[in-house]
Structure 1
Amino acid sequence: MKLKKFIILIALISFTVIKAQDNCSSFYPMVEGATFTYKLYDKKDKVNGTSNYKVQEVTTNGSETKASLNINYQGSKKSETFEMDYNFTCTGEGIRIDFNSLMPNQMVEQYKDMDVEMDITGTDIELPNNLSVGQELKDADINIAMSISGMKMKVEAKTTNRKVVAQESVTTPAGTFDCMVITADILSKAMMAKVTISDKLWLAQGIGIVKQETYNKKGKLESRMELTSFSK
């Protein structure tokens, strides 16, 4: 996978939320076996990938419920296909994503047998259960410092200006949904590469991500993602 696309995906995962009906969380599916499928389109409206989400395991300990989510991304090129798992915790007031888990499985496997030191720091991504238009959400970031046979490399992704900006109806191949709209700015850095994007996300009650759009620093549409099917 190209480095630029990788750091964009890390940033988008940091911002992505799935919404489902649940006693603990309004904004993550807490049901084992729940699945969601999305089509990804480039700026020319050409399909360039499919993303499949599945809730693997849900456990409850006291007032907290923890779940693991698997993502399988199949790009238009074999080199752009990856799989990853990440974990999140629901406290009853909202959810937080463990930033340590935001690493594709293939990257972990690739470096497992190499002389690699890796240090991951950051801020857990938080999303409250109750959203309203005009609400501002907390910033989030992830920083990965790697030393590969003495060569040092850093990957950073910072999500800022997270806001609930609207409530509107959206239609995708999966149906028509009433959605809350969240926007954010994302800055990613890796070695000499620097990517600045803006993100817009539509969330539907009891469904989850319905649509997502990404814009470059000039405000032009770079990519979009739409829900095509779901089950829970």
Structure 2
Amino acid sequence: MKTKLLLILFFLIGIISLTAQDNCSKFYPMTEGVALEYTNYNKKGKVEGVSSFKVTETNTSGNTTNATMAINLKDEKGKDIYNTDYKLSCTGNMVTLDYESLLPSNMLEQYGEMDLTITGNDIEIPNDLSVGQNLNDANVSMKIDMSGISMNMTVDMVNRKVEKKESVTTPSGTYDCYVLYSENQSKMMMVNQVYPSRVWLAEGIGMVKQETYKKNGDLMASTMLTAYSK
């Protein structure tokens, strides 16, 4: 049970990296009806699951845009393992996430008496990216109190930079992308790990591809945009 919970928490960190940016329309559209499907692969290229995101509601008041995103995660057999709706808003050049809404109430019930706190700062992606550009570090922290056991997990995203531009073809189409590199320093249960990663971003779409590596550079896992509609 604890292993499954940890997998879901790592997935939540992925959600934050998918949705946090400093403008609502440049890289990640906040338009009602937009739907994206991502397929997750292990290091050997075997499908490990499919995650779907859909903007179900948006509204704008003044210079603030609010959106509701529906998330569904299926395992390699197509079985639902995670469903929720979460909120995000964009004002000027700042995106704010409702961290608490990332975790569905039925999951909290499944794990009994559990107190979860998620904090962090936004992952900034400027509108005007350029090759060689350095990006600000980011951080996500989670604290879990469950059945008398406390657990803390922190992920620091450091050494973020724009490496290059390249074209990427996936089952959903061909996209011109910026390639963003970062080193993700994970701290959990007194164990420290470093996982370098690359994200391919396309304007108006968001993440098209992601690869996570071991510290020695070997591929650990990858994610690819396999369906897109608006």
Shorter-chain TM band: 0.7 to 0.9
Secondary structure of 2:196's counterpart equals: strand
User: In 2 relative to 1, CA 105–213 (structure 1 residues): closer, same or farther, beyond 3 Å?
Assistant: farther
Which stretch shows the higher mean deviation, 99-108 or 64-73?
99-108
- Write out aligned runs for 1:82-121 (5 A): 82-93=82-93, 95-103=95-103, 107-111=107-111, 114-121=112-119
* 1:14 corresponds to 2:24: no
Letter in 2 for 1:167: K
Question: Which residue of 152, 156, 159 corresponds with 1:158?
Answer: 156
Q: Which residue of 2 aligns with 1:214?
A: 212
SS of alignment partner, residue 126 of structure 1: coil
1:136: how far off?
2.3
Q: How many Å separate the matches in 1 of 2:61 and 2:227?
A: 31
Structure 2 counterpart of 1:142, from 117, 130, 140: 140
SS at 2:125 equivalent: strand
CA distance in 2, matches of 1:215, 1:175: 25
What is the rounded CA distance, in whole Å, between the counterparts of 1:220 and 1:88 in structure 2?
34
Q: Distance in 2 between matches of 1:104 and 1:36?
A: 20
Equivalent residues of 1:99, 1:125 under 8 A apart: no
Q: Which residue of 214, 218, 226 maps to 2:224? A: 226
TM-score by length of 1: 0.83
Tell me if the contact between 2:71 and 2:84 (Cα under 8 Å) persists in the aligned partners: yes
Confirm or deny: 8 A CA contact 2:108 2:114 kept in the other structure: no
Q: Which residue of 1 aligns with 2:27?
A: 27
Range 66-75 or range 44-53, more displaced: 66-75
Cα deviation for residue 192 of structure 1 reads 5.1
CA deviations 1:25-51 (Å, max 9, x no partner) are 212221112101121111011111111
Question: What's the counterpart of residue 66 of structure 1?
Answer: 66
What is the percentage of aligned positions where both structures have the same residue? 44
Contact kept, 8 Å, 1:63 with 1:91, in 2: the verdict is: yes
State the superposition RMSD in angstroms: 2.8
Rounded Cα–Cα distance in structure 1 between residues aligned with 2:45 and 2:69: 28
Deviation of 1:94 (Å): 5.5
215-224 vs 94-103, which moves further: 94-103
Q: Which residue of 2 aligns with 1:2?
A: 4
Preserved contact between residue 49 and residue 78 of structure 2 (Cα < 8 Å): no
Further displaced range: 93-102 or 26-35 = 93-102
Q: Secondary structure at the match of 1:127?
A: coil
Shift in Å at residue 53 of structure 1?
A: 0.8
For the residues of structure 2 that align with 1:89 and 1:178, how far apart are their CA atoms? 27
AA aligned to 2:29 is P
SS at match of 1:12: helix
CA offsets 1:105-151 (integer angstroms, 9 cap, x no match): 5543434xx33333333223333333222222222222222322332
Structure 2 distance, partners of 1:179, 1:125, is: 18
Task: Show the counterpart of 2:40.
Answer: 40
Say which SS state the counterpart of residue 133 (structure 1) adopts.
Answer: coil
Task: State the Cα distance separating 1:201 from its structure 2 match.
Answer: 0.9
Contact 2:158/2:184 (8 A) holds in 1: yes
CA contact (8 A) 2:96 2:122 kept: yes
Q: 1:133-212, aligned counterparts within 5 Å?
A: 133-191=131-189, 194-212=192-210
SS at match of 1:128: coil
